[in-house]
Amino acid sequence: MLDYITLEKFDISGMHKIYDKWPEIADEAFSSNFKKLEFGDVDHVVFAGMGGSGAIGDAFAAILSKTKIHVSVVKGYLLPNTADSKSLVIATSISGNTVETLSILDSAKKKGCKIIAISSGGKMEKYCKKNQIDFRKVSQIHSPRTSFVNFLYSLLKILEPILPITNEGVIESIKKMRELKNNISSLNLSSSNSALKLAEWITEIPLIYYPWGLNVAAIRFKNSLQENTKLHSMIEDVIEASHNGIVSWEKPSNVQPILLQGQEDHIKTKERWEIMKDYFNENNIKYYEVFSVEGNILSKIINLIYFFDYVSIYKAVLSKTDPTPVKSIRYIKDRLDT
């Protein structure tokens, strides 16, 4: 079992301490006095961002999925060809220096799109000021990935006019984060900590199966394991996997399946989960189940991300790894900057 002395020894910069404050950070961000979105006549919303900023776009795509608004999430250099003057491009770069997102910002300006940009400063802030683009500054806390909750809840306030979620729904999500914190935070390094249990269970390469609507939580977990734990990980849609990926289990494997299930999954998706579990049981394949909280889509997403991010930190420390440094990402960025 992990103890706090070991946690502090390997988590040198104290990443876990930021996560211990996530519910409070979310509450403060949503209570901020950010000016709300004023754009009208929008039929297409494009979220542009990479890494943690890209996950923000995935989260809003899930929130907006039951509206009539067409949503695109761009993780790269190119805007959809359909982007035009009726498109709202929301460019997010927590650092403010993400080259791909800066490229999207420039393309959106040339196409005459409506634009709002969010970052902690950097090149994005300078570009927006120079070109008179609507810009909102949100502080980075520790690192881009730990700042996720600050940016997400700031954007929930900014984008409130186009979102199908009430203030009460947002408050519900924060309340459930506080409840979850009591179990998974660094203040409870005991056998009852469910995030620590999963971190201890992962000994090989995790494969996260997810249902439609919760893909953002699976993507974020994969990314967090890769960045924090420096561990290979994979994700698959549970329905699509039934048509291809399941065949991979016909041979011995060092992959560990994690079944990410929503409390309100479609009835046929629930049936698929049961069939998959039967298959694993009959073939002596050990798997781990994770369930979303009950509540609205925001509550489900943010609480799963909160849980999984803690898992990645604990797993890093259990493997004697500092979760913060990302030398390989720095290597690529340095090469791109030359």
User: Are residue 51 and residue 114 in the same domain, yes or no?
Assistant: yes
User: Are residue 110 and residue 142 in the same domain, yes or no?
Assistant: yes
Catalytic residue of the set 125, 227, 230, 236:
227
Cα end-to-end span (Å), the chain = 45
Task: Mark whether 44 is an active-site residue.
Answer: no
Question: What is the count of structural domains for the chain?
Answer: 2
Task: Mark whether 243 is an active-site residue.
Answer: yes
Q: Is residue 12 part of a domain?
A: no
Q: Which domain holds residue 50?
A: 21-167
Q: Choose the final residue of a domain: 167, 194, 227.
A: 167
Q: Is residue 8 part of a domain?
A: no
Backbone angles phi, psi at 207, to 5 degrees: -120, 115
Query: What pLDDT score was predicted for residue 338?
Result: 47
Task: Give the integer Cα–Cα distance in Å for 245 and 137.
Answer: 42
DSSP 226: I
User: Are residue 93 and residue 231 in the same domain, yes or no?
Assistant: no
Question: What is the dihedral angle through the alpha carbons of 160, 162, 168, 171, rounded to the nearest 10 degrees?
Answer: -50
- Domain CATH number, residue 40: 3.40.50.10490
Query: What pLDDT score was predicted for residue 284?
Result: 97
User: Are residue 116 and residue 197 in the same domain, yes or no?
Assistant: no
User: Are residue 163 and residue 30 in the same domain, yes or no?
Assistant: yes
**pLDDT score of 62 more than 60:** yes
Task: Mark whether 333 is an active-site residue.
Answer: yes
Q: Among candidates 230, 284, 227, which has minimal Cα distance to 257?
A: 284
User: Are residue 142 and residue 28 in the same domain, yes or no?
Assistant: yes
Taking only the tens place, the pLDDT of each residue in 178-223 is 999 999 999 999 999 999 999 999 999 999 999 999 999 999 999 9
User: Are residue 159 and residue 189 in the same domain, yes or no?
Assistant: no
Catalytic residue of the set 243, 251, 286, 320:
243
Amino acid at 284: N
User: Are residue 199 and residue 239 in the same domain, yes or no?
Assistant: yes
At 337, is the pLDDT very low, low, confident or very high (cuts 50, 70, 90)?
A: low
Q: Is residue 177 part of a domain?
A: no
Taking only the tens place, the pLDDT of each residue in 153-176 is 999 999 988 889 899 999 999 999
Q: Among candidates 110, 37, 102, 42, which has minimal Cα distance to 72?
A: 42
Catalytic residue of the set 17, 70, 86, 333:
333
CA 69, 74, 77, 78 dihedral sign is negative
Q: What is the pTM of this model?
A: 0.94
